[in-house]
Amino acid sequence: MKKLLTLLGAALLAIALHAQQNKKMKINVNDTAPDFIVTDVNNNNVTLSKFKGKKVLLTFYRNVGCPVCNLRFHELSQHDSFFKANNVVLIAVYESSSENMLTYLANEEVYPRMIPDSSLLLYALYDLERSTGKMLKSMFKGAMGKMKKGGKLFKAEMKQDGNANRIGAEFLIDENGIVSIAHYGSYIGDDLPIEQIITAITK
């Protein structure tokens, strides 16, 4: 059954990607969030549409070896109790392999559903970009300081197994599967303010 659901999820993603081929569009506020069925790092199926009735914070990181992403992951983790109390589902997507992600997690349980997407299907579905220009812009937007802070938070030595010029994004999806916040980074480390996320969840 699990294999069947995984195959079905891959088929749905392929159909969605085919529909968007040559017509890539960013996800906007008030759009219906594109549905997906994927397998998380623990081999559990994750279906976005099954979370209707709950808010979902869908975060696209770069890869688990990215220190800037590691800093952001820990920033959000400090608010896990808030997310749990407000019945918010966290889904964290990375370009990394399952093996590298498991090394990153170091056998610790985390609140977000951790999705390894080395095939980049979800990145394409949500139209995330790769931009060398935005990567270079990061150097003038505090990236070095974030790299230093995030690097100190790693539990193990990590390798970067994603695209160096990948730019992240964050989406808050409401109980009806509608996007209430769509944030595409303008540079590496351009994240939504935590206060904005909390306000949107509690309003």
- Tell me, what amino acid is at 193? P
- Return the DSSP state at 32: B
**Per-residue confidence (pLDDT) for residue 24, from 0 to 100:** 63
- Encoding tokens for residue 195? 């206060």
Owning domain of residue 169: 2-202
pLDDT of residue 3: 54
pLDDT at 10: 52
**Tokens standing for residue 54:** 């709950």
Radius of gyration of the chain (CA): 16
One pLDDT digit (tens) per residue for the chain, 203 residues: 555 445 445 544 544 444 444 446 899 999 999 999 999 999 999 999 999 999 999 999 999 999 999 999 999 999 999 999 999 999 999 999 999 999 999 888 899 999 999 999 999 999 999 999 999 999 999 999 999 999 999 988 999 999 999 999 999 999 999 999 999 999 999 999 999 999 999 98
Residue 113: which CATH number?
A: 3.40.30.10
Residue 20: predicted pLDDT:
47
pLDDT of residue 25: 86
Distances from the Cα of 54 to the Cαs of 6, 60, 94, 112, in angstroms? 23, 19, 22, 14
Q: What is the number of structural domains in the chain?
A: 1
